[in-house]
């Protein structure tokens, strides 16, 4: 490949420049593919399998949006991003949405000019220690060596927590979860801190999970959710309401098993509106009437996605906790489809 | 004198004694060991220390490698197998992960039914390089294929319509024709400028619509593969090959610029070369991953692998410029003077006399630059591309293989070692061959 | 009247810009300059319009904001409330530390390996060849993660030192603890310390200078100067009388005694590391991220330096060695007195570029969590503030400055060595 091809590609890109500003929804439709940013690898949330297909909880959100917009849950290009590249990839338009455990914070929303489309996982930062250390509270960790992943909000929370409790610690910054786990298991750090879901997922893969405890303190709020670029409200709406549709489907009892039966029409008008047999919700979004039906058909409702990827029957083994429906004491609360 | 003695000596041997065999300590294994291993007490200590080191390393590694876990389906499964086979303390490799993932480590996410394309591309690469590297054994007519190859290679890897590489090639043809006519009608300098301008205009403005139009008339092509699907070892090789191939012309221009008497041109080239060589590759990759889109016209968007290719090419071209400058400096002064005395102008002298020789001298340097760039491609894992090292992290995120370390690193290191070692051997062979040819 | 001095104008034609060699080079340069400026303007214009579209502006104000993250390995005092600028400074110092350490060890290792590769001992020469090929042909990033993994997996954790019958014990009379968190070694302490001087008050670049250190350096400098004077005097006596007086005991005394007096006066003692709580406390902690990076960079670069040293030695003609043998020198003296000094001139230029490479490769610290400048300025600061343009450009400038400094200093040294050539 001589420089001609690169120049050709530049020329090509220059021609495509006109189309790029037309709005992400139109772009995605024209392209026939959704570009979705995911993490490079986190058990249960996103990782490629042996066939190179991406699987996981975050991946399911991408697939649902692709199904809603394009009617095909496989029409997704997964773009692996690191803590460093994720925001640039989104800001530059390389990806259409970022579904990578990213915490919704003020500065990311306001200063970095992104828009969070909702929360697909309520998390909080926790600590894991070996049982043999006999630690029962994070406040007893004075002088401990703590493994943290860099480039995330966790290291800021950690600094704040130890500072406000006036205890010292030794941070060991790590790039990926796999490395952190290796250091923790070898005893190179006493404590591993990250989101509680990540801790549970990591512990589940240990040789002897029972030898490690999660400390009771959750030192931060980590609402994780998909995000899109600021200022493209139509596209933001599509992602937000696709996520809401998955949550509402669980609340309304729509599962992938009874989806076809329910989409024919039911006694419940909200189900009918959601699944498109009544009203024009899809049209308002700029999608076809079966958008939510497609989204749910791709991976099931929120509860099914959760159970399949990170639920208690999987190796990750997370309980629903905060991520239960509001009717069951959790925080999941989809606004009405009306 | 001797006469008087001859009477007093009772016996004088008048036949040659047969040669005796050297002492047993001087021949065979013992003699060899005495000379090469235990020639002094210091050498003896060194030998014994080395033997001890070899023993400890092998004792640690060999049982680990010889572990019966080729059919392991997960790390815990491997541990069970090891425990059943009586490997103490579950000490042994879990080779199941390599068996399951080696194809992914080599081809990344490239569609499996198209594996023949990268294989063909790299086999043909050998064919294309043959006339350059083994110029004494391969017919030089193959050079035509070498010239065509830069267009075949991307087409095989990325696929798509065949008109795109043809259009790209047409740019060179158009540029060449314009140069030829303009240099005859006007001056050589104008010819170079006009030729380059014509080629650039063709590529920037006309190539895409023309190839699009041809495609709609006569659709010939193979399935397109997006560069996002590239991964694993194939990604490393692609980045290395593309960067070196593209950096060669840029490097030649930079090297000539650096050697030139024109002050401004020289300083621009020196500034570029020293800047690129002064910063680590990782910062250039940060530019590729975070900034390159900001430097391009608004709305331009090329995917991360293309951006990485651009930055690695710039990186390689600065090093290539220095290699070629070395080649130019190594040419005897008489070659330049000879070219001048024949009345050749600057470009003719470069094209016909200087460059062919300078490039030939530079081949070993180019090969080692390639090895360097190829090894440096592992850095792309830091910006999230799935090269072998990046993939190893992704594989460890699979619940089955969570906690695997050595097997993956070992396999990747082995792949790199085999590749780089054979190339460095080849480069040494070339160096020897070139030396006898010139001195 | 004045028109007489004007040259005839019709002689200059536009085409002369192209055909006349007097003007042609100017034409090419002007075109090149214009092209370069157009390219630069195009890039800057693109950048500005893109930043405007993203509603961002180039702003270095974030540097004074609180960084919010902690850095474990630091040479100066730093807390998470300090500014991003100070965090970047910590990173810069860490980069310099590992670069300097790496260059020193890589040179020592490289020279030893390069010489051993030419050894008459078959086994040692082969082993060194294997070493060189192994390290040269595997990417340095892989070596860094490899060494880190070895340190983590094979060394004992601090908790292995605990209990009645610990699995691991401290070495060198309980003064050094080798753990998989790093190595703890005794630290020098002064019971009657002179205190510190605070430079720059509260500014981001503030640092403390230990007066003890200054005192030690001053005394050392003075005694070295004194010893040098003694040597000079001995030289003079030798030249005058032909007999060289014995001076080694005087020189040793001049160097050792004042230092001893000073150290006793300051109350010098060693602080030993001891296991307290989760970690060893006291002593100096060399973190394994530093050790892994240092070791991997040294081993990797040593392989290249070994080849340079070997080539340098082989470039010295056989006659030099034979002449030295004829003088009756032993083989190690031949190497150190005859061959290496000459080989140095061949070795130094490529050695410089290897030092540069090592420094640039230290940016891979990020893979083992060593907080160098790429990890602070180009890593966490960039992530937390989202100021990619400012951070990356500054990062490149810093590395460029380091590289240019190294090559400047080493080129100066190279010139100094060359001057001795006759």
Contact A2 B246 (CB under 8 A): yes
Indicate the length of chain A as a whole number. 338
Task: Quote the pLDDT of residue C5.
Answer: 59
Put simply, the answer to whether A91 touches C54 (Cβ < 8 Å) is: yes
Range(s) of the domain holding residue C302: 63-142+288-417
Give the residue among A334, A295, A298, A336 at the shortest CA–CA distance from A119.
A334
Helix (H, G, I), strand (E, B) or coil at B71: coil
pLDDT of chain A along its 338 residues, tens only?
Answer: 333 444 444 444 443 443 444 688 988 998 888 999 998 777 788 888 878 788 889 999 999 999 999 999 899 988 888 877 888 888 888 889 999 878 898 888 888 888 999 998 998 999 999 998 888 888 888 889 999 887 778 888 898 899 899 998 888 988 777 788 888 988 888 999 988 888 887 887 787 888 999 888 889 988 999 999 888 889 999 999 999 999 999 999 999 888 888 888 888 888 999 988 888 888 888 898 889 999 999 889 999 999 998 888 887 778 888 899 999 988 999 999 88
pLDDT score, position C212: 85
Q: For chain B, say whether C31 makes contact (Cβ under 8 Å).
A: yes
Cα distances (Å, whole numbers) of residue C215 to C195, C207, C228: 11, 18, 20
Residue C163 at interface with chain A, using a CB cutoff of 8 Å = no
User: Within 10 Å of residue B328's Cβ, how many Cβ atoms?
Assistant: 23
Give the end-to-end CA distance of chain A in Å, rounded to a whole number.
55
Boundary of a domain, candidates C207, C236, C271: C271
- Listing DSSP states for C292-322 in one string gives HHHHHHHHHHHHHHHHHHHHHHHHS-HHHHH
Q: How many helices (H) and strands (E) does chain C have?
A: 14, 9
Model pLDDT, residue C12: 66
**C411 and C303, same structural domain?**
yes
| C230-to-B52, C224, C258 alpha-carbon distances in Å | 48, 10, 16
Q: Is residue C294 located within the same domain as residue C233?
A: no
In a domain, residue C176? The reply is no
Residues C312 and C360 reside in one and the same domain: yes
Ordered by start, the domain boundaries in chain A are 28-122+224-328, 125-220
Asked whether residue C306 falls in the same domain as residue C246, the answer is no
Q: Say yes or no: C263 and C293 in one domain.
A: no
pLDDT for residue C18? 65
Q: Residue A178 is encoded by which pair of tokens? A: 């796999």
Q: Locate A93 and state its tokens.
A: 């338009």
The 10s digit of each residue's pLDDT in B92-120 is: 888 888 888 888 888 888 888 888 888 88
Q: Under a CB-based contact definition with an 8 Å cutoff, are residues B419 and B113 in contact? A: no
C155 to chain A nearest CA, in Å?
A: 9
- pTM value? 0.85
Number of domains in chain C: 2
pLDDT digits (tens, 9 = 90+) for B248-273: 999 999 999 888 888 888 899 999 99
Residues B217-252 pLDDT 10s:
877 778 888 877 888 899 999 999 889 888 999 999
Q: Are C280 and C179 in contact (CB under 8 A)?
A: yes
pLDDT at residue C102 in the model: 95
Cβ–Cβ under 8 Å, residues A151 and C380 = yes
Q: How many other C-beta atoms are found inside a 10 Å radius of the C-beta of residue C29? A: 18
The DSSP string of B178-247 is HHHHHHHHS-HHHHHHHHHHHHHHIIIIIHHHHHHHHHHHS--EE----GGG--HHHHHHHHHHHHHHHH
C403: domain CATH number is: 1.10.3720.10
pLDDT of residue C96: 93
DSSP state, residue A103: B
pLDDT at A66: 94
Q: Looking at the structure, tell me whether residues C299 and C394 fall in a common domain.
A: yes
Phi, psi of C54 (to 5 degrees): -85, 5
For residue C289, how far is the Cα from the chain centroid? 16
Whether C250 maps to a domain, the answer reads yes
The encoded tokens of residue C168 equal 């691991």
Task: At B154, give phi and psi (nearest 5°).
Answer: -65, -35
The helix (H) or strand (E) run that includes residue C285 is: strand C284-287
As a whole number, the mean pLDDT across chain B is 84
Rounded percentage of chain B residues whose pLDDT exceeds 90: 16
Q: Torsions phi, psi of C273, nearest 5?
A: -70, 145
Q: What percent of chain A has pLDDT over 90?
A: 26
- CA angle, B166 then B167 then B169, to 5°: 65
| CATH number of the domain located at residue range(s) A28-122+224-328 in this protein | 3.40.190.10
Measure the CA–CA gap between A274 and A285, rounded to whole angstroms.
Answer: 12
**Displacement of CA B270 from its chain's centroid (Å):** 25
Q: Say yes or no: do domains A28-122+224-328 and A125-220 share a fold.
A: yes
Residues C192 and C104 in one domain: no
Total Cβ atoms within 10 A of residue B15 = 5
What is the rounded CA–CA span in Å between residue C201 and residue B335?
65
Rounded Cα distance, C193 and C209, in Å: 12
Contact list, B424 vs chain C (CB under 8 Å)? 133, 136-137
Task: Return d(Cα A170, Cα B331) in angstroms, integer.
Answer: 58
Q: For residue B211, give the nearest of B158, B172, B242, B169 by alpha carbon.
A: B169
Contact call for residues A296 and A288 (beta carbons, < 8 A) = no
Ordered structural domains, chain B, with CATH: 91-110+229-434 (1.10.3720.10)
Q: Measured between alpha carbons, how far is residue A236 from residues A117, A242, A287, C86, C404 in Å?
A: 6, 10, 13, 38, 48
Q: How many residues make up chain C in this entry? A: 422
**Is B246 within 8 Å of A3 when comparing Cβ atoms?**
yes
Q: Which residue reads 């080692």 in tokens?
A: B368
Contacts of C173 (CB under 8 A, 6+ apart): none
Nearest to A13 among B203, B205, B302 (CB): B302
Contact call for A187 and C157, based on CB within 8 A? yes
C-alpha gyration radius of chain B: 31
Residues B397, A47: C-beta atoms closer than 8 Å: yes
**Residue B428 clears pLDDT 80, i.e. is over it:** yes
Q: Is the pLDDT of residue B185 over 60?
A: yes
Q: What is the mean pLDDT of residues B320-343?
A: 88
Is residue C286 classed as helix, strand or coil in its secondary structure? strand
Q: Do C208 and C328 have their domain in common?
A: no
CATH H-level, domain A125-220: superfamily: Periplasmic binding protein-like II (3.40.190.10)
CA distance C230 to C227: 5
Q: Does C109 touch chain B (CB under 8 A)?
A: no
The answer to whether A11 contacts B208, with C-beta atoms less than 8 Å apart, is yes
> Which chains have 3 or more CB–CB distances shorter than 8 Å to chain B?
A, C
Q: Which residue from C17, C22, C31 is spatially nearest to B186, judged by alpha carbons?
A: C17
Q: How far apart are CA C305 and CA C132, in angstroms?
A: 10
* Shortest alpha-carbon distance between residue B146 and chain C (Å): 27
Nearest chain C residue to A173 by CA distance is: C369
Tell me: do C114 and C194 sit in the same domain: no
Mean per-residue pLDDT pooled into runs of 10, chain C (422 residues): 54 67 78 89 89 80 86 84 89 93 95 89 90 92 91 85 77 81 87 80 77 89 92 90 84 88 87 83 86 94 93 87 90 84 83 90 89 89 84 93 88 72 48
Question: What mean pLDDT is predicted for residues B47-65?
Answer: 89
């Amino acid at each position: 490949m001589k420089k001609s091809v690169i120049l050709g590609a530049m020329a090509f890109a220059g021609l495509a420049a006109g189309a790029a500003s037309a709005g992400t929804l139109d772009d995605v439709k024209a392209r026939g593919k959704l570009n979705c940013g995911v993490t490079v690898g986190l058990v249960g949330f996103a990782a490629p399998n042996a066939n190179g297909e991406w699987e996981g909880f975050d991946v399911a959100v991408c697939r649902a949006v692709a199904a809603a917009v394009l009617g095909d849950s496989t029409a997704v290009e997964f773009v692996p991003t690191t803590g460093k590249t994720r925001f640039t990839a989104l800001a530059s338009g390389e990806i259409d949405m970022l579904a990578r455990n990213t915490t919704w914070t003020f500065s990311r929303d306001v200063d970095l000019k992104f828009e969070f489309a909702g929360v697909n996982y309520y998390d909080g930062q926790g600590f894991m220690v070996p049982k043999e250390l006999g630690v029962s509270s994070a406040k007893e960790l004075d002088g401990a060596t703590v493994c943290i992943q860099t480039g995330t909000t966790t290291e800021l929370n950690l600094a704040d927590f130890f500072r406000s409790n006036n205890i010292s610690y030794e941070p060991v910054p790590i790039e990926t979860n796999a490395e952190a786990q290796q250091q923790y298991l070898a005893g190179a750090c006493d404590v591993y801190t990250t989101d509680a879901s990540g801790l549970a997922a990591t512990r589940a893969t240990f040789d002897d999970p029972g030898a490690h405890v999660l400390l009771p303190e959750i030192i931060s709020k980590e609402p994780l959710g998909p995000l899109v670029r600021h200022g493209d409200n139509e596209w933001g709406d599509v992602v937000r309401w696709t996520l809401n549709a998955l949550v509402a489907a669980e609340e309304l009892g729509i599962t992938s098993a009874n989806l076809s039966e329910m989409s024919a029409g039911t006694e419940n008008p909200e189900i009918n509106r959601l699944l498109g047999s009544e009203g024009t919700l899809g049209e308002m979004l700029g999608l076809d009437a079966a958008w939510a039906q497609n989204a749910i058909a791709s991976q099931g409702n929120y509860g099914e996605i959760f159970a399949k990827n990170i639920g208690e029957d999987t190796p990750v083994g997370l309980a629903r906790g905060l991520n239960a429906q509001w009717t069951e004491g959790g925080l999941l609360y989809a606004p009405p489809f009306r | 004198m001797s006469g008087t003695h001859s009477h007093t000596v009772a016996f004088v041997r008048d036949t040659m004694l047969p040669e005796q065999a050297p002492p047993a300590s001087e021949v065979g294994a013992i003699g060899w060991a005495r000379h090469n291993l235990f020639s002094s007490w210091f050498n003896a200590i060194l030998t014994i220390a080395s033997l001890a080191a070899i023993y400890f390393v092998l004792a640690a590694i060999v049982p680990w490698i010889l572990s019966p876990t080729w059919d392991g389906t997960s790390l815990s499964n491997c541990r069970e197998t090891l425990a059943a086979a009586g490997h103490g303390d579950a000490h042994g490799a879990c080779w199941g992960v390599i068996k399951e993932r080696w194809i992914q480590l080599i081809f990344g996410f490239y569609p499996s039914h198209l594996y023949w394309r990268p294989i063909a591309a790299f086999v043909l690469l050998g064919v294309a390089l043959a006339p350059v590297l083994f110029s004494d054994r391969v017919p030089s007519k193959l050079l035509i294929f070498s010239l065509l190859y830069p267009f075949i290679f991307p087409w095989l890897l990325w696929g798509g319509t065949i008109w795109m590489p043809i259009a790209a090639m047409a740019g060179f043809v158009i540029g060449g024709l314009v140069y030829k006519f303009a240099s005859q009608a006007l001056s050589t300098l104008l010819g170079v400028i006009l030729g380059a301008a014509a080629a650039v205009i063709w590529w920037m403005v006309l190539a895409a619509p023309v190839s699009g139009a041809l495609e709609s008339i006569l659709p010939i092509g193979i399935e397109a593969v997006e560069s996002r699907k590239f991964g694993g070892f194939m990604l490393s090789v692609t980045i290395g090959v593309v960067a070196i191939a593209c950096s060669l012309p840029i490097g030649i221009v930079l090297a000539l610029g650096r050697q030139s008497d024109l002050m401004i041109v020289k300083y621009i080239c020196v500034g570029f070369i020293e800047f690129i060589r002064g910063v680590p590759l990782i910062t250039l990759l940060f530019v590729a991953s975070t900034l390159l889109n900001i430097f391009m016209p608004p709305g331009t968007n090329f995917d991360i692998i293309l951006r990485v290719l651009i930055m690695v090419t710039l990186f390689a071209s600065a090093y290539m410029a220095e290699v070629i400058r070395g080649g130019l400096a190594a040419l005897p002064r008489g070659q330049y003077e000879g070219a001048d005395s024949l009345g050749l102008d600057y470009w003719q002298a470069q094209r016909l006399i200087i460059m062919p020789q300078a490039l030939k001298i530079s081949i070993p340097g180019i090969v080692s630059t390639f090895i360097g760039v190829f090894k440096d491609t592992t850095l792309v894992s830091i910006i999230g591309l799935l090269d072998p090292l990046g993939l190893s992290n992704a594989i460890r995120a699979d619940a089955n293989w969570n906690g695997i370390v050595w097997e993956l690193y070992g396999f990747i290191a082995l792949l790199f070692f085999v590749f780089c070692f054979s190339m460095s051997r080849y480069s040494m062979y070339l160096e020897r061959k070139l030396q006898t040819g010139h001195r | 009247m004045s028109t007489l001095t004007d040259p005839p104008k019709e002689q200059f034609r536009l085409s002369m810009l192209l055909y006349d060699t007097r003007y042609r080079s100017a034409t090419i340069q002007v075109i090149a300059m214009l092209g370069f400026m157009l390219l630069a303007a195009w890039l800057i214009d693109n950048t500005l319009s893109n930043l405007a579209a993203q509603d961002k502006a180039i702003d270095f104000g974030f540097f004074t904001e609180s960084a919010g993250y902690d850095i474990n390995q630091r040479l100066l005092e730093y807390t998470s409330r300090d500014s991003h600028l100070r965090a970047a400074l910590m990173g810069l110092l860490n980069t310099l530390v590992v670069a300097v350490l790496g260059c020193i060890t890589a040179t020592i290792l490289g020279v030893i390996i390069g010489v051993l590769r030419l050894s008459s001992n078959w086994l040692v020469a082969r082993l060194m060849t294997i070493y060189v090929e192994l390290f040269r042909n595997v990417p340095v990033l892989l070596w860094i993660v490899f060494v880190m993994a070895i340190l983590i997996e094979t060394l004992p954790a601090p908790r292995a030192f605990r209990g009645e019958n610990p699995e691991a014990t401290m070495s060198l009379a309980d003064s050094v603890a080798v753990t998989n968190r790093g190595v703890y070694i005794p630290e020098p302490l002064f019971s009657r310390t002179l205190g510190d001087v605070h430079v720059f008050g509260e500014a981001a670049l503030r640092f403390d200078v230990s007066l003890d250190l200054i005192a030690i350096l001053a005394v050392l400098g003075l005694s070295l100067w004194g010893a040098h004077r003694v040597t000079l005097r001995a030289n003079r006596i030798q030249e005058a009388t032909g007999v060289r007086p014995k001076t080694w005991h005087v020189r040793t005394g001049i160097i050792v005694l004042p230092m001893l007096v000073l150290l006793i006066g300051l109350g010098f003692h060693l602080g030993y590391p001891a296991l307290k709580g989760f970690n060893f406390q006291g002593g100096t902690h060399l973190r394994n991220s530093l050790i892994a990076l240092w070791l991997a960079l040294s081993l990797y670069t040593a392989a290249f330096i070994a080849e340079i040293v070997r080539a340098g030695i082989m470039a010295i003609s056989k006659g030099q060695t034979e002449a030295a043998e004829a003088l009756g020198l032993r083989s190690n003296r031949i190497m150190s007195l005859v061959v290496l000094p000459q080989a140095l001139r061949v070795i130094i230029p490529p050695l410089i570029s290897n030092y540069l490479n090592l420094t640039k490769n230290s940016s891979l610290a990020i893979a083992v969590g060593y907080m160098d400048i790429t990890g602070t300025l180009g890593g966490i600061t960039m992530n937390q503030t989202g100021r990619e343009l400012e951070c990356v450009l500054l990062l490149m400038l810093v590395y460029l400055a380091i590289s240019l400094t190294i090559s400047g200093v080493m080129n100066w040294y190279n010139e100094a060595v060359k001057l001795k050539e006759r």
